[in-house]
Amino acid sequence: MNCALCRANLSNGKVNHIVDLGERIIIVKNVPANVCDQCGEYFVDTETAMKLEAIVEEAKKNKAEVFIVKYNEMVA
Ligand SMILES: [Zn+2]
């Protein structure tokens, strides 16, 4: 698998997924992803993307301006 942007090699890693809602920011930490060695872009698989979406929906109920959750705690 290669980076969709720069075609460099992807490595398994963990990233902080940041969702900017404008007035509020949701940060999901330690998301398993394929990270580009060259440009730092990351790609999550379909299953992870679906879980991320559910986590973000849940986090939207929280009114904090910055809401930080840990991926592994939310999917456990
Ligand atoms: Zn890249």
For residue 36, report the distance from its CA to the centre of ligand 1, in Å: 5
Torsion angle of C-alpha atoms 53, 68, 33, 58, degrees rounded to 10: -20
CB-based neighbours (< 5 A) of ligand 1, an ion: 3, 5-6, 8, 36, 38-39, 41
Q: What is the pLDDT along the chain (76 residues), one digit of tens a residue?
A: 899 999 999 999 999 999 999 999 999 999 999 999 999 999 999 999 999 999 999 999 998 999 999 999 988 7
For residue 42, report the distance from its CA to the centre of ligand 1, in Å: 8
Q: What pLDDT, on a 0 to 100 scale, did the predictor assign at position 1?
A: 83
Provide the whole-model pTM.
Answer: 0.88
For residue 7, report the distance from its CA to the centre of ligand 1, in Å: 6
CA-to-CA distance for 69 and 17, rounded, in angstroms?
Answer: 10
Q: What pLDDT, on a 0 to 100 scale, did the predictor assign at position 14?
A: 97
Q: Which CATH number among 3.10.20, 3.30.70, 1.10.3470, 2.60.40 corresponds to the domain 10-75?
A: 3.10.20
Q: What pLDDT, on a 0 to 100 scale, did the predictor assign at position 74?
A: 87
